[in-house]
Amino acid sequence: MALEAGISPETLRKIETGRLPTPAFGTVVQLSEVLGISLAELADVWRTGPAHGSAREKAAFAADAVEAASQHR
């Protein structure tokens, strides 16, 4: 998925694990296109996700959201 989105696998791992908690907007756009979901859907997931908590908790939520989206691909 990373290469399809034009990012390195390491960048994707960093996003998934919270080591890159705020990816560049272009990266988000590329990932949404690869996953076949709109930016509006991603924004909804972000808004309804955990508002508080550790970076690890937020990363786990984001990874779950990416996994769920990739299964609908």
Q: How far apart are CA 49 and CA 63, in angstroms?
A: 12
Specify the amino acid at residue 12. Answer: L
Is pLDDT larger for residue 38 or for residue 59? 38
Model pLDDT, residue 22: 85
What pLDDT is attached to residue 9? 94
CATH of domain 2-71: 1.10.260
Instruction: Give residue 8's pLDDT.
Output: 95
Q: How confident is the model at residue 26 (pLDDT cuts 50, 70, 90)?
A: very high
Q: Which residue has the higher pLDDT, 48 or 5?
A: 5
Among 50, 6, 52, which residue's Cα sits nearest to residue 65? 50
Range 35-46 average pLDDT: 84
The domain locations on the chain are: 2-71
